[in-house]
Amino acid sequence: MTIFVNDKPERLLKPDMDNFIVSARKYRPATFDMVVGQDTITTTLKNAIKNNFLAQAYLFCGPRGVGKTTCARIFAKTINCSEPGPDGEACDKCESCTSFNSQASFNIHELDAASNNSVDDIRNLTDQVRIPPQIGRFSVYIIDEVHMLSTQAFNAFLKTLEEPPSHAIFILATTEKHKIIPTILSRCQIFDFNRINVDDIVQRLSWVAGNEGVTAEHEALHVIATKADGAMRDALSIFDQIVSFSGKNITYADVIANLNVLDYEYFFRITASAMQGDVTSVLLTFNEILIKGFDGYNFMAGLNNHLRDLLVSRDEATVKLLETSPSIRQRYREQAVDAPLSFIYQALEIGSQCMLNFRSSKNQRLHVELALLRMCNLSSVSPAEEVKKKAEQKPLEEEKEIEISPPARETVAPPADTPKPAATQYKSADSPDDPKKISIRSAISGNRTAGNTVSEPIPETDQPVAHEFTADELNEAWSTFAAGVKEESPRISVTLSAVSPELLPDKTIILKLDNSALKEAFDHNYRARLESHLRNTLQNTGIKLQTSVEATERGEILYSPEQKFNHLVSKNPSLKDLKKTFNLDFE
C-alpha cells in the first residue's frame, strides 16, 4: 500500500497481514502424536520405525484432508532422525530434522503425479532413485495423487517399486485407491485413512482458537466440524473464514449465517407442528426458510436428517450416533419422547420419496409443501384406529356387554319331525351362556358382510327362528346372491343362476354341480356365505346347504391333470408303471 507524505511516496507495511499463514498450514502436525483421528495408523508407523521393520513402499489412501501427506512427511522425517525419542518421535534437533523443518532436506522428494504422470517423468524418477542420500539413512519419495499416473507410467514404475535400492522408500498418497492397478497395490503396504469424527475436529478447533486468542461457542464449532465432513483441512479453512467474518468472537448465529446453514430450530419447530397437525405453522415456517434463500431440496435433506436423529435418540444404545453438541443432543432427547415411532417412520418415508422426485418436479415448492402436508396428516387418527387402540389397551375380560332385545316377530313352530337346528353355533364366543348378550367385538364383527349379498344377521333368541318361506322367496334370495358375487367370481355367478335349488322338507337345500373341481371351489369359498345369506334373508335358521356332483350320461367332466391321468389309467393300467419308472409328473 502506498501513501504520500510531504508529497513523497512512502510504502506502508502491515506485518500482521504480510506474515499471515492459514491455519491449515500453520497448525499442520509435526509429530505423530499431533495427528488427529488416525491413532491406529500412527501407532503402526511408530512401531515399524522403532523395530526397524520398514517396507519398501507404502500406500496412504482415504478422503481429502485427513492427514495422508502429513503422515508421509512425518514418517520421512522420523526414519532419518539420528536421535529418535523412546516413543518413536523425531528429536527436532539433529541435522536431518532441522533441514526438514526448514524445507531444505535433500533426503525427501515430493512428486505431484497430477502434473508428472507420463512415462518420461517416471524414468527420471527411476534414475534419481539410484543416488544414495547425503545425510541420513533413507531417500524418501512421496508421490501425491498417484492415481493420476497413466497406465504406461504405472507399468514403467513396477520394477523399481518392487525392488528399489536399499536406501529408497516410496510413499504413495491417493484419494481414489480403486483407480490404481492391482500390480501396484500388491507391492505396497496399504493404510486406509478414516474420516475424522466431529468430536475430534471440535477438540482440535478449540485448541487452535485458544492459541489464536479467539473465543468460540461450542455449538458454533460443531457446525464447522459438521460442515467439514470429516476433513480437518476443510475445518481449519472454514475456521479462518469465520474469523474473518466475525473477528475474535465466534457465535453460532455468525456461523450459520456465513456458511448458509439452516438452523436446528427450524427443524424442531416443523417437526413439533407436524406432530400436532398444525398445517398453518408448517407452511409459514417453510415460507420463512425459502425467504432466507435456502433451497427446498437441502431443506428436505436436513429434515430427513433431523428425523433420523430423533429416531436414534429414542434409545440409550443409539444416542451416541448423534454428532451434535450436548445441548442440542438434549433437545433431541426431549422431542424424541413426544414423537411416536410410527410418525418418525412414515415421515422419513415421505421425506425420502420427496427428495427422490424433487428434481423432476415442475413445481418444486408445491412438491415439498405436499410432503409437509402429508406429514401433518400423520397426526390425525381415524375412528377405526382409535377403536382398535382402545381395544388393545383394554383387557378382553373387561369388555362391557350390551343387552339387545330381539324385535317382536311371529314365529311358526317347526313340524314335530323336523330336526332342531344347532342354534348354539350362532351365539357369540364372548357370551356362550346368555344368548341375549353379545360383546362389542361380536357386534362389530357381526355386521361385516361380503359385498351386498348378506343382510343383517338374525337376532339371537332362546329358540331357533323357523319362519316359513315359499319357493319363489327362495329363488329370489338365490338370485340376489348370484348377482352379488358376479364381479367377484363370474363363473360361480353363472353356475348359481343356471341351476335351481332343490328344497327338501327338513329345509335342506341340495345344489348339484357339474364336476368335483367346481364343487371343491364352491365349498371352500361360497357355501357358508350362501347358507348364511339364505338363513338371514328367509329368516329361518334351520336352512342347510349341501352340494353334490351331478352324474350325467357322458360322465363327469375331467378338468384337473390328475383327473385326466386317472381316467387314462383306468383304460390302460401300464401308464401308472410308466409314470413311476420315469418319475413323471401330471404336468
Over the stretch 527-547, which tens digit does the pLDDT of each residue have?
888 888 888 888 888 888 888
pTM above 0.85, yes or no: no
- Asked whether residue 20 is assigned to any structural domain, the reply reads no
Q: Which of 195-199, 320-324, 374-378 has the lowest mean pLDDT?
A: 320-324
pLDDT at 94 over 70: yes
Q: Is 366 left (phi over 0), alpha (psi -120 to 50) or beta?
A: alpha
Is there a contact between 319 and 333 (Cβ–Cβ < 8 Å)? yes
φ/ψ of residue 93, rounded to 5: -125, -25
- Asked whether residue 426 is assigned to any structural domain, the reply reads no
Q: Which of 70-74, 162-166, 420-424 has the lowest mean pLDDT?
A: 420-424
pLDDT at 5 over 50: no
Q: Are residues 42 and 162 in the same domain?
A: yes
Q: Are residues 180 and 269 in the same domain?
A: no
- Count of domains forming the chain: 2
pLDDT at 115 over 70: yes
Q: Are residues 182 and 317 in the same domain?
A: no
The CATH number of the domain where 84 resides is what? Answer: 3.40.50.300
Residue 362 lies in domain: 264-377
Last residue in a domain, options 172, 192, 212: 192
Q: Are residues 269 and 183 in the same domain?
A: no
How many degrees, rounded to 5, is the angle at CA 501 between CA 499 and CA 504? 155
559 pLDDT band, cuts 50/70/90, is: low
More confident residue, 520 or 372: 372
The dihedral built from the CA positions of residue 466, 468, 473 and 479, taken in this order, carries a sign that is positive
Across 17-26, 267-276, 412-421, 430-439, which has the greatest mean pLDDT?
A: 267-276
Q: Average pLDDT, stretch 415-421?
A: 47
pLDDT at 405 over 70: no
Q: Are residues 167 and 50 in the same domain?
A: yes
Q: Are residues 283 and 147 in the same domain?
A: no
Is there a contact between 64 and 231 (Cβ–Cβ < 8 Å)? yes
Q: Are residues 183 and 331 in the same domain?
A: no
- Asked whether residue 238 is assigned to any structural domain, the reply reads no
pLDDT at 442 over 50: no
Q: Are residues 78 and 168 in the same domain?
A: yes
Q: Strand pairing partners for 139? A: 168
φ/ψ of residue 474, rounded to 5: -65, -45
What's the pLDDT at 557?
A: 55
Q: Is 540 left (phi over 0), alpha (psi -120 to 50) or beta?
A: beta
- Asked whether residue 300 is assigned to any structural domain, the reply reads yes
- Asked whether residue 131 is assigned to any structural domain, the reply reads yes
Last residue in a domain, options 173, 192, 211: 192
pLDDT at 548 over 70: yes
What's the pLDDT at 369?
A: 94
3-state secondary structure of 464: coil
- Asked whether residue 215 is assigned to any structural domain, the reply reads no
- Asked whether residue 444 is assigned to any structural domain, the reply reads no
202 pLDDT band, cuts 50/70/90, is: very high
pLDDT at 18 over 90: no
Over the stretch 565-581, which tens digit does the pLDDT of each residue have?
787 878 788 878 887 78
pLDDT at 466 over 80: no
304 pLDDT band, cuts 50/70/90, is: very high
Q: Are residues 287 and 370 in the same domain?
A: yes
Is there a contact between 139 and 127 (Cβ–Cβ < 8 Å)? no
The CATH number of the domain where 368 resides is what? Answer: 1.20.272.10
Residue with the three cell numbers 479462518: 240
Residue type present at position 64: R
pLDDT at 426 over 70: no
pLDDT at 92 over 50: yes
Is there a contact between 339 and 375 (Cβ–Cβ < 8 Å)? no
- Looking at beta carbons, which pairs linking 22-30 to residues 24 or more positions away fall under 8 Å? 22/236, 22/237, 22/240, 23/208, 23/212, 23/236, 23/237, 23/239, 23/240, 24/232, 24/233, 24/236, 24/237, 24/240, 27/208, 27/211, 27/236, 28/70, 29/67, 29/70, 29/74, 30/74, 30/92, 30/101
Q: Are residues 157 and 268 in the same domain?
A: no
For all residues of the chain together, what is the average pLDDT? 79
Q: Are residues 43 and 150 in the same domain?
A: yes
pLDDT at 367 over 90: yes
- Asked whether residue 110 is assigned to any structural domain, the reply reads yes
pLDDT at 375 over 90: yes
463 pLDDT band, cuts 50/70/90, is: low
Q: Average pLDDT, stretch 169-191?
A: 91
Last residue in a domain, options 192, 213, 246: 192
Over the stretch 33-58, which tens digit does the pLDDT of each residue have?
889 988 999 999 998 988 888 889 99
388 pLDDT band, cuts 50/70/90, is: low
Q: Are residues 130 and 276 in the same domain?
A: no
What's the pLDDT at 271?
A: 93
Q: Which of 70-74, 415-419, 469-473, 523-527 has the lowest mean pLDDT?
A: 415-419
% pLDDT > 70, the chain: 80
CA distance 219 to 214: 15
